Amino acid sequence: MSETIFTKIINREIPADIVHEDDLSLAFRDINPQAPVHLLIIPKKPIATINDITEGDRELVGHLHWVAAKLASDMGFAEDGYRVVMNCGENAGQTVFHIHLHLLAGKPLGWPPYTDRMKQA
Ligand code: DGP
């Protein structure tokens, strides 16, 4: 797959507000926050979309959720609650083709979490 902006963040070629790093993953603050806390948790391995996750990636994808829970606990919003979501493809509005968990917290979050981007004909 072609390199995305997230590979540049992993490689420290562009700056980001990094809140967690380990061998498998990186977490940093979203540049366009949709909640008081809006983190992106990404694997260091570039995987374009959920559709590209292989059997061998199962542990890695689980690891991203473990990081989400750890950050929620460490940052003090685990008990208040938060949302973890991963967009896949055009209809979900995915814009960066390197999978990432959005972790949103710090206020009551509405449901459903979207507004229609296209009007019905
Ligand atoms: P998605 O729509 O699920 O593909 O979300 C991509 C998110 O990535 C979006 O919320 C904005 C964020 N983003 C895009 N470019 C950058 C960047 O250069 N730095 C940071 N921190 N976030 C970025």
How many structural domains compose the chain?
A: 1
Closest atom, ligand 1, to C-alpha of 94:
4
Please report, as a single letter, which amino acid is at residue 68: A
Cα 49 to ligand 1 centre (Å): 14
Angle at 51 between CA 47 and CA 52, to 5 degrees: 35
Cα 74 to ligand 1 centre (Å): 23
pLDDT at 87 over 90: yes
Model's pTM, two decimal places?
A: 0.95
Are β-strands 82-85 and 18-21 bridged in parallel, bridged antiparallel, or unpaired? unpaired
| Cα–Cα dist 94/62, whole Å | 20
| Cα–Cα dist 119/46, whole Å | 33
pLDDT tens-place string over residues 46-60: 999 999 999 999 999
Q: What is the token pair recorded at 31? A: 């540049």
Q: Which CATH number fits the domain that encloses residue 43?
A: 3.30.428.10
Domain containing 91 equals 5-117
Determine whether 63 is an active site residue.
no
pLDDT tens-place string over residues 92-114: 999 999 999 999 999 999 998 88
